[in-house]
Amino acid sequence: MADTTVVIATRDRAEELTRTLTHLRALAVPIVVVDNGSSDDTVDRVARDFPEVEVLPLGRNEGALARNRGVRHARTPYVAFSDDDSWWAPDAVTRAEALFEQHPRLGLVAARTLVEPEGRTDPMCAIMADSALGTPPDLPGPAVLGFLCCGAIVRRTAFLRVGGFHPVLFFRGEERLFSWDLAAAGWACAYVPDVVAHHH
């Protein structure tokens, strides 16, 4: 049985989502798509072409808060976020699961994100790697207070305990505020370049 669920929030991007789900299908993990009131054929297309994927149609655009719905719906100990144009490397989820088991304070793994089609590392990764917080002995990489959501895997209990993404931020900046909430509750976010996500 899988220990990680992939949660994707989407709106009116059926083509991009189809490519993403094709990549993610190889992971053989539960996938939850939260639809932010799409006016295109997103919901129907996922139901037709990816029957193994659960779709939560919201009927309206909830922005980043749609991810909260997906996490609450998941039943696994960990949740990997993808955008509708991003996906995980084949070994990313299992690597992250092992890290969570080894590091009890770890609430979130911030992955190295490769920007496709060139495969170059997102500039945000260099900032995380050079974090002024350093690498505490009980974490697998530099502690960070910010991350790219399309390259983040969370411990579900930690996510729920701090309330997920805050409703004050509809979209943009939600990662930074969430990382602060985790830190305030005693959890840590760490950048781990061996865990890889792809973002098109």
Give tens-digit pLDDT for 55-96.
999 999 998 899 999 999 999 999 999 999 999 999 999 999
Task: Look up the pTM and report it.
Answer: 0.95
Alpha carbon distance 64, 73 (integer Å): 15
DSSP E strand stretches across the chain? 4-10, 31-35, 54-57, 78-82, 86-88, 106-115, 120-121, 152-155, 188-199
**Rounded CA gap, 178 and 182, in Å?**
6
Alpha carbons 48 and 99: distance in angstroms, whole number: 35
C-alpha distances out from residue 112 to 8, 62, 103, Å: 18, 27, 19
Which of the listed CATH numbers 3.90.550.10, 1.10.260.40, 3.10.129.10, 3.90.1150.10 matches domain 4-199? Answer: 3.90.550.10
pLDDT at 173: 65
Residue with the two structure tokens 């530099």? 142
Q: Is the predicted pLDDT of residue 159 greater than 80, yes or no?
A: yes
The residue type at 99: L
Under DSSP, the state recorded for 153 is E
Res. 44 pLDDT band, cuts 50 70 90: very high
How far apart CA 9 and CA 62 sit, in angstroms, is: 9
pLDDT at 18 over 60: yes
Distance (Å, rounded) from C-alpha 181 to C-alpha 103?
19
